Amino acid sequence: MIKRHNVSPTPEMHHTCKIVLPLACAALALSPSPVTAREVVLTDAPGSNWVVDNGDDSCRLVRELGEGSDRVTLMLTQWAPGEKFSLTLTGRPLRRFDQRTIMLAFADRDGPLGRRPVDFMEGKLGETDDVLVASSAYLTRPPEGDAEKNVAASTAEAPDPQSPYGTVAPRLAPGAIALADRIELSQGIDTLRLQPTRLADALGVLDACSQSRLPEWGLDPIAHQTMIQRPKLQNAEALVTKVQQNYPLAAVMRNEQADLHMRMLVDEAGTASDCTVIAGSRNDRITTDACELFANEAVFLPALDTTGKPMTSFFTTSILFRLHP
C-alpha cells in the first residue's frame, strides 16, 4: 500500500512527498487492446559508445540511440550498490508517453525477467525534448504479490527483487544482467524499445563501479557479498509522516519537483550516521532535513553477516517531491 500526504497550497495544485524503500513494483495484467499497436525500435546512434561517469556521489552510464528526430539519450545511474538504479530518457520519441505508470522491461516481456509498472516523472529539456525519469528501476520482475511500498509499510524484510538470480547482497544480480538486452517502455498501444549494443556488459560496469564505493565508505565489500540481512528500518511510518509534511514552500512557489537520494551508515548497534542526501539532477534545488530526522529518530535492526553477527552496512532510500495540477 502506498500512503500519500497531500497539501493544497493553492486552489490550482497540490503536492506529495513520498519516501520509497528499495523495493520493486508488482507486474500488472493489461487487457488486450483492439487498436493496432504502435512500436518504435531504436538502436545505437551512429558513432555512439557507452560513456562512463564515475562521479563522487554516483556511478552513471550514458548512451545515444536513434537518429534525427528519433534520437534518444539513455542514462542509467546508481547512487549506491544494490538491485535498483535510476533511469533517465531524453528525446522527442518520449512524448508518446505521459506521467502515468509505464510498463518497463529489460528483456522479452514473457521471459524470466518479465516486465513491471514503473512511475516516471515527466519533464522538458529545452523546447523540443521530452524527459522521463524513473527514480527506481529494477532489472527483474518482483516476486508474485509484492507491490511497490513506501517506508510506511516496510517493517517486514525487503523481498529479494533479484530472485531467483541473487541474494540479499546489495548488487545487480549477474544472472539478470546476462539476460538484459533492451529497455522497453509500453503504455496503451505505444511501445518504445531501445536496444543499445552490449547492454549487459554496461550494466556489469555500473555494478562494479557501485561495489567499489563500499571500501570508500569504510565498509567490508566481502562481508556484503555474503550478508544474510540488510539494515531494517523499524519506525518507518512515523518518519515518513514527518518528512511528507515538509514539502518546502519555496519549491512549491517555484513549481519545482525533485528526486532526492538519501544514504547513511548503520552500525552494529543499529545507529545511523554519516547521512548524505544527493540530488537526482543538478537542477534540483529542493532541500530536506530528512538526514537530521533519521539520525535522531530512526530505529534500525542492524545488518547481519553470514554467521548472523551484526555488521556495519548502509541504508538507502529515495525522497520524491511531486506537484500535481
Burial of 205 (0-12, 13-18, 19+ CB in 10 A): middle
100-140 residue pLDDT tens:
789 999 999 888 888 889 888 777 666 667 889 888 899 98
Q: What are phi and psi of 279, to 5 degrees?
A: -75, 140
Q: Is the pLDDT of residue 44 over 50?
A: yes
Average pLDDT over residues 70-75: 95
Supply 177's cell numbers: 544482467
pLDDT (0 to 100) of residue 257: 64
Going by pLDDT thresholds of 50, 70 and 90, the confidence category of residue 43 is very high
Supply 323's cell numbers: 506537484
DSSP letters spanning 102-133: EEEESS-TTSTT-EEEE--EEEEETTTEEEEE
Rounded to two decimals, the pTM is 0.77
For residue 45, the 8-state DSSP code is P
For the chain, the C-alpha Rg in angstroms (whole number) is 19
Task: Return mean pLDDT, the chain.
Answer: 78
Helix (H) or strand (E) holding 205: helix 199-211
Q: Is the pLDDT of residue 143 over 80?
A: no
CA dihedral for 160, 164, 168, 172, sign (positive or negative)? negative
Which of the pair, 31 or 57, is modelled with greater confidence?
57
pLDDT (0 to 100) of residue 22: 44
Q: Is the pLDDT of residue 230 over 50?
A: yes
